Structure 1
């Protein structure tokens, strides 16, 4: 089911329901260093697998750098897309988990804490947990390390600093909801430190955050035929059980 949440061509998502009872909603957020050349097609295999495994999947598109996105537009879209779920009939929103790959991992974890900032305060649909798949969770480090050929700076609109806490998950710890990170050991696109350093900082502040390092590259985490994906389904089930 294609649903819009705004007037822009990129403000839509695809809702896929399971055949039987739903375990909850997983918001699928694709990656691509926030760039317009990547779209929600990346999330379609994940959404299909999630529905097959009892989840309602909300695979969302959003404005990206190059088609009207960046800060704050991309974040506005993620916020609005999640809140759009409140107007869908028959959805149990007691469990809403964000799942994002690469830059989508950044957006997934950011969405979990968005309500503490004025521009996105009082979300209609709170996030109850987040799964980051090789996520870009430290924008300052991503800028310094020139990940994605300047992607973080292009996304934020300037050199990323400590003043950008409202958009940088690493500066937002601790979150009030659990965060699960999974990252391929052979990832040469987003370094392992983006996940491991985030979890170290989060747990030091008392947050519920874990990281699992798995065999494979940057894309093994979105290969729905892999054992790594099967493990993520277990992580999602664990987050649902903890929330229940």
Structure 2
């Protein structure tokens, strides 16, 4: 592990860090609101009339629920999508915009909620996300999901949570195989979250450097390295670009995809389009597992 105080941007001022990681401010309130409306509208359109099983409690301890979309005959490979929102916003209701595209490609989609910060600690959020993967592996067959073909992805904070399912050490205590996550596609992920200790988000997640390091995928062991596409937008926040560029060589089973003409919020919406670069990449990952 790097020294506790040596992290990406550690020599930047608090104002410079805010510029690097405050993508909502970068977009501005009007554009941000338009993006959030698109997330909801595209998600509602994607699941309208789609076969599935919404509202399943996957974790008895928290009572959190997930939606299963796009099931069909037999068992389908499954894409588990973890929403962003800096661990303190958004929900599964606005995060299923890729479900119809994947259904038409023979792939099911699972979208969980997790308890948001500050109500839940980041350790608890990570536990819930891993419980989602465990639920798919244990109960997927009952809902048309292939437990041997699980691909995990997510955007922003969801990219961080994706990384926390890619690393090792948590699978065995849950009775899962080390390779339960067969492939991964984090978007605009946070892989070394120590910078978060000095930006506005920390008012909700309340991390110190030691806890942030312990929750950073880039700093954790990964004996099994699943195939991955590490995606980030060309016009993303500089902090997110740096995070993906630093994580890529550490995850030597992954490809880096810098998506031109996209920003932090719209890059993941391309998953609704099978002809987009990220749509093709995701379908390729799923079909290879």
Determine which structure has more spread, i.e. the larger CA radius of gyration. Answer: 2
Alignment equivalent of 1:106, drawn from 144, 157, 160:
160
Question: How many angstroms does 1:210 deviate by?
Answer: 1.5
| Structure 1 Cα separation of the partners of residues 233 and 279 of structure 2 | 16
With the length of structure 2 as denominator, give the TM-score of the two structures.
0.70
Matches within 5 A, 1:53-92: 53-66=105-118, 68-85=119-136, 86-88=138-140, 89=142, 90-92=144-146
Alignment equivalent of 2:190, drawn from 131, 136, 143:
136
Pair 74,225 (structure 1): closer, same or farther in 2 beyond 3 Å: closer
Alignment equivalent of 1:211, drawn from 244, 249, 256:
256
Alignment equivalent of 2:208, drawn from 152, 155, 159:
159
| Structure 2 Cα separation of the partners of residues 102 and 231 of structure 1 | 18
Question: When the two structures are aligned, how many residues end up with a matched partner?
Answer: 230
Task: Report what 2:250 is aligned to.
Answer: 201
Instruction: For residues 169-209 of structure 1, give each alpha carbon's deviation from its aligned partner in whole angstroms, at most 9, with x where no partner exists.
Output: 1112555212211111111375301111111233xxxx201
Question: How many angstroms does 1:121 deviate by?
Answer: 4.9
Pair 190,33 (structure 1): closer, same or farther in 2 beyond 3 Å: farther
Matches within 5 A, 1:1-244: 1=53, 2-7=55-60, 11-19=64-72, 23-35=76-88, 37-66=89-118, 68-85=119-136, 86-88=138-140, 89=142, 90-113=144-167, 115-117=168-170, 121-123=174-176, 126-144=180-198, 146=199, 149-151=200-202, 154-155=204-205, 157-161=206-210, 164-172=212-220, 174=222, 175-188=224-237, 190-202=239-251, 207-215=252-260, 216-224=262-270, 230-243=276-289
Q: Is contact 2:197-2:207 (8 Å) kept? A: no
What 5-or-longer segments of structure 1 have no aligned partner? none
Instruction: For residues 123-163 of structure 1, give each alpha carbon's deviation from its aligned partner in whole angstroms, at most 9, with x where no partner exists.
Output: 3681111101111122123435x2xx234x743x32224x6
What 5-or-longer segments of structure 2 have no aligned partner? 1-52
Question: How many angstroms does 1:166 deviate by?
Answer: 4.0
Q: Is contact 1:20-1:54 (8 Å) kept? A: no
The higher-RCO structure (CA 8 Å, 6+ apart) is 2
With the length of structure 1 as denominator, give the TM-score of the two structures.
0.81
Pair 110,191 (structure 1): closer, same or farther in 2 beyond 3 Å: same
